[in-house]
Amino acid sequence: MPIDVALLGCGHPHVPDVLGVLASEPDLRLVAAWDADPSAIPVAIAGAAVSRAETALRRATAAVICAPTDQRPALCVQAARAGCPILVEKPVARSVAEARGVAREVARSRTPAMAALFLRELPALARLAGLLRERLLGRLAGASAVLAHPGALDGWFDGPRAWMRDPARAGVGGFGDLALHVVDALAALRADEPPALHAVTLDRAGAGRADVGGMGIGTWAGAPLTVRASWAARPGGLEVVIAGAAGTATLREGVLELDRGRGTPERWVGPPPDAGEAVRAFANRLRARRFPRDGLAPAVEAQAVLEAAVRVG
């Protein structure tokens, strides 16, 4: 049975990833595309364009929300009340308080919802979680994580995506946008001991409140933690390093390496991070009709960690 998808918001860097997955999965069908700015709708899907979000939701059995952050709360609630399962870009809202309100409204409707946290779908991250469960690193001594790309240098946030450089609309800048993925990934690795950031320094691109990245320091699983995120790093990529008394694990893109200080390090090679994997995971849950009870909670909690640290820093 086809899954009819409405795309709400087209001015986001991950929209091509969403469309790529919809085109590659035979049972997924884009039935409507809406944006408050009609010029943001790609020419390739202009035939699916509608003038109202309500029209898009009436045609669909599921909604993918890539609209600017200031529009996401209303669209999430609207989709939830229409009974359309939701995949929403993160952050869910501009502030944690607003995001928690959205999560409550969605939960009240009993409509399934997930945030697009694609690092959770990375096979190498699951392997790293296994190393930690098996205590192959011993007592943890420290961790660092970096997620970066050159988007601010390469014009990713021009035109319909310019809202991402406006904190009044996006709620976060480059640090919050990418560090939210990192904080959530660390929380997924050790659900019993989520990370905490105690201070953040932001990289400013010029005048104003917007940032293109930054660095935070804190703790995770009883060990010192540093988190670096940037929209202005070339070539960018993902790197997570966890050092312990019995060895060090390094995850770069999709490659996980375990060095226990003797012999050749063990290496496992998997696919690199792919934003489209969040869409595939959402589609798989739609097919199986199995969703987490509170699918927005991980994104909300990661945002809470960042918001508290930025306020203090």
pLDDT average per 10 residues of sequence, the chain (313 residues)? 95 96 96 96 96 97 98 98 97 97 96 97 96 94 97 93 93 95 96 90 72 96 96 95 97 96 91 97 95 92 93 55
Q: How far apart are the first and last CA of the chain?
A: 50
- H or E element in which residue 215 lies: strand 211-220
265 CB-near residues (< 8 Å, 6+ apart) = 257, 258, 259
Per-residue model confidence (pLDDT) at position 313: 47
Burial (0-12, 13-18, 19+ Cβ within 10 Å), 87: buried
